[in-house]
């Protein structure tokens, strides 16, 4: 049974507000769009943001202690020695009109209270799934199913392979047919960019449907 992550209710200004026309008829700056990169522990969130960001990655990585390793079930990712404890932040300019601001969430359940704040003002979310540890992905999918934030599920191809077929992942995580599921490589810039474009298309489709 899936668990919903809870957070506070402090208001914040959305990032996806239209950019103002510059004075003197000059070209207006790109529209700032906030996108959240979410998922369980060790699924590739920091790697994805780092792969695509045009600025140095801003991250809050901390060393994994022996106690934390027991809590976070690091056995299947033995090479992971650090973990995000607050957020990852990156930026990528799509074109002259859109600039994405990427916010990566912490993956551990005990930091779930931060998700609500990080998703405020987001136009969409990319929820990364690791098919090697499918049980750790329920919370992230369940969280976004209980929000108004459009999201796309992205299955990370670790070592270029999938442990399960896409439709098996959809069934296992009880993801409805309306939610897109894609595959990508969190290490590859073009692959991550394609995944982010899928999020933008999903958000646009949701907005178009709500106004029709």
Q: With contact defined as beta carbons under 8 Å apart, do 87 and 105 qualify?
A: yes
Q: With contact defined as beta carbons under 8 Å apart, do 91 and 100 qualify?
A: yes
Which of 18-22, 153-157, 177-181, 182-186 is predicted least confidently? 18-22
Cα–Cα distance measured from residue 194 to residue 183, given in angstroms and rounded to the nearest whole number: 10
41 or 75, which is more confident: 41
pLDDT of residue 201: 96
pLDDT of residue 112: 61
* First-to-last C-alpha distance (Å) of the chain: 35
> Could you tell me which of 119, 107, 178, 169 has the C-alpha nearest to residue 148?
119
pTM above 0.75, yes or no: yes
Q: With contact defined as beta carbons under 8 Å apart, do 199 and 150 qualify?
A: yes
Cα–Cα distance measured from residue 38 to residue 129, given in angstroms and rounded to the nearest whole number: 9
What is the band of 64 on the pLDDT scale with cuts at 50, 70, 90?
very low
Question: pLDDT of 132-162, one tens digit each?
Answer: 888 888 889 999 999 999 999 999 987 767 7
Domains annotated for the chain, with CATH where assigned, are: 29-59+87-211 (3.40.50.300)
Question: pLDDT of 15-60, one tens digit each?
Answer: 555 544 545 557 788 899 999 999 988 899 999 999 999 999 888 6
81 or 171, which is more confident: 171
């Amino acid at each position: 049974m899936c668990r919903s992550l809870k957070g506070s209710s402090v208001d914040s200004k959305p990032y996806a507000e239209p950019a103002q026309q510059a004075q003197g008829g000059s070209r207006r700056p790109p529209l700032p769009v906030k996108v959240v990169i979410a998922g369980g522990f060790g699924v590739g969130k920091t790697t994805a943001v780092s792969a695509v960001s045009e600025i140095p990655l801003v991250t809050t990585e901390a060393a994994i202690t022996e106690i934390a390793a027991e809590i976070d079930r690091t056995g299947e990712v033995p090479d992971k020695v650090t973990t995000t404890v607050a957020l990852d932040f990156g930026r990528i300019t799509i074109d002259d009109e859109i600039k994405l601001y990427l916010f990566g969430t912490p993956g551990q359940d005990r930091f779930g209270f931060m998700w609500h704040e990080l998703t405020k003002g987001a136009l969409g979310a990319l929820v990364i799934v690791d098919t090697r540890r499918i049980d750790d992905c329920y919370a992230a999918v369940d969280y976004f199913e209980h929000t108004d934030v459009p999201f796309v599920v992205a299955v990370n191809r670790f070592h270029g392979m999938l442990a399960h077929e896409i439709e098996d992942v959809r069934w296992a995580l009880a993801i409805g047919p309306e939610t897109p599921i894609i595959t990508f490589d969190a290490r590859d810039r073009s692959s991550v960019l394609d995944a982010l474009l899928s999020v933008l298309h999903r958000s646009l489709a949701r907005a178009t449907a709500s106004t029709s």
